Amino acid sequence: MFRVSPRVEIIFGKFKMDTEIEYTAAQYGTDGNDLKVISGSTNKINNIHFLFTTTFSFLKNPNQFLL
């Protein structure tokens, strides 16, 4: 299984917009008596997830908590 999720963040004073695209992929299959996956029985699955957020901060300095 692996996951890739680049993010872009834009800050305009106390207003912040974020966008993120996440791609996740994994494989699963049928296990045998020895709990190992049987050869040729694997299936690949993947998912693309889009996220967009907006934030308004009421702090005097909204960037003071950013690392």
Neighbour-count burial for 24-61, b at 16+ CB within 10 Å, e otherwise? eeeeeeeeeeeeeeeeeeeeeeeeeeeeeeeeeeeeee
The per-residue pLDDT for 10 is: 93
Domain boundaries, the chain: 1-28+45-58
Task: Give the pLDDT confidence of 33-50 residue by residue, as tens digits.
Answer: 888 888 787 889 999 999
The per-residue pLDDT for 32 is: 81
Q: What is the C-alpha to C-alpha distance for residues 63 and 10, in angstroms, rounded to an integer?
A: 12
Task: Give the pLDDT confidence of 5-35 residue by residue, as tens digits.
Answer: 889 999 988 899 999 999 999 988 888 888 8
What pairs with residue 2 in β-bridges? 25
Q: Report whether pLDDT(64) > 80.
A: no
Query: pLDDT higher for 55 or 40?
Result: 55
Q: Is pTM beyond 0.85 here?
A: no
- Sole residue written with tokens 């005097």: 60
Instruction: Tell me if residue 65 falls in helix, strand or coil.
Output: helix
